[in-house]
Structure 1
Amino acid sequence: MKYSQLGTQLRHILELLDGDVAESYRACGLENYKPRYTPIMRALIHKRDITISEVVASTHISQPAVSQTVKDMIKQGLVQTSSGEDARQRKIRLTRKGSALIPKLKQQWIATREAEQSLNSELPTELSELLNQAIQALEKRPYLERIKENLSIEAT
């Protein structure tokens, strides 16, 4: 019997992409910058103050993951938080150190986009398009539903 390798393949491709992107940040002098900071940095470039909820809504990254990443970015001195209008909401803002990274980050993101285009030229379908199609299909009909259709569970 052949088992699904989808999860293993997804983790492997993410390791290949993320590892090289992280290394390229180090190579251009962004020593402690992590690829997972990018969605938050991009959100802050577009909007000076942003809440964690706004980051979650714009990136589709889970609230716990965004909160954990923001904590790490605070430790790195890239962002700071303050209370929002609603005391339960925290606003995130770039520090001077975080703002100073923006020119190098923009260069890095352009180079990364060009690398993505290079990869896509070797594939029959653009990777991001295929991923978007998979996301849309899973949002229509979740993977769990698909698994349960094929799983025979006896009532206990």
Structure 2
Amino acid sequence: MKQGLGTQLRHLIELLDGAVAASYEEAGIDYRPRYTPVMRALAQGGPRTVGQIAEAAGITQPAATQTVALMLKEELVATTPSATDARQKLVQLAPRGQALLPQLQRCWAATGAAAASLDADLTYPLSGLLAEAIEVLGRQPFGERIRAARERLENDTDNNDKEPS
């Protein structure tokens, strides 16, 4: 039985994330792979709002909010009130996050090299294919594609139900 796209993607993420998580453990770092987009955004740009982190990291704002909350508990990041908008908080690397950065950067370099190796072994580089899929879905989201496919299927069924004249 052929697996669906979602099942394949979840399995791929399990394979990749599991290996990345194991590499952090092997390096002696207590760290989750999901923190990486936030850590990179903060390492490059200093204090940012959650919205700015989401944009810089290429993740949704709810995902950034959840990740920052987890990172706050682990004292990887800290928040301060925004000087310009009291409703907003600025997120920045906490001392523990700053201290982990050199080790993380070495892990990220190894992960990047492993990803390049995977791309080289594939018929079509996965990183390029994923970037293309994201771009194409930006032009026509998957939800629109599902609705269009449903309409076509319903129209085909309706047309097949009619008696020939």
Flag the structure with higher helix content: 2
- TM superposition shift of 1:96: 1.0
Which residue is equivalent to 1:49?
Answer: 47
Any unmatched runs of 5+ in structure 2?
156-165
* Cα distance per residue 1:84-111 (max 9 Å; x no partner): 1211211001111110001100100110
Q: Partners of 1:17 and 1:4 in 2: how far apart?
A: 18
Q: Partners of 1:89 and 1:103 in 2: how far apart?
A: 29
Q: Quick check: 2:38–2:53 contact (8 Å CA) kept in 1? A: yes
Any unmatched runs of 5+ in structure 1?
none
Q: Partners of 1:45 and 1:20 in 2: how far apart?
A: 23
TM-score (norm 1): 0.92
Q: How does 1:87-106 map to 2 (within 5 A)?
A: 87-106=86-105
Which residue is equivalent to 1:75?
Answer: 73
Which residue is equivalent to 1:12?
Answer: 11
* Cα distance per residue 1:35-85 (max 9 Å; x no partner): 011011111111121110101112231111111111111111111001112
Task: Give the percent of matched residue pairs that are identical in Structure 1 and Structure 2.
Answer: 45
Moved over 2 A (4+): none
TM-score (norm 2): 0.87
Which residue is equivalent to 1:141?
Answer: 140
Total equivalences in the alignment? 152
- TM superposition shift of 1:19: 0.8
Which residue is equivalent to 1:24?
Answer: 23
Which residue is equivalent to 2:158?
Answer: none
SS at the partner of 1:50? coil
Of stretches 53-62 and 98-107 in structure 1, the one that deviates more from structure 2 is 53-62
Q: Partners of 1:60 and 1:97 in 2: how far apart?
A: 24
* Cα distance per residue 1:111-149 (max 9 Å; x no partner): 001101111111012111000110111111111111112
1:119 corresponds to 2:153: no
Which residue is equivalent to 1:107?
Answer: 106
AA in 1 matched with 2:116: Q
Q: Which is greater in Rg?
A: 2
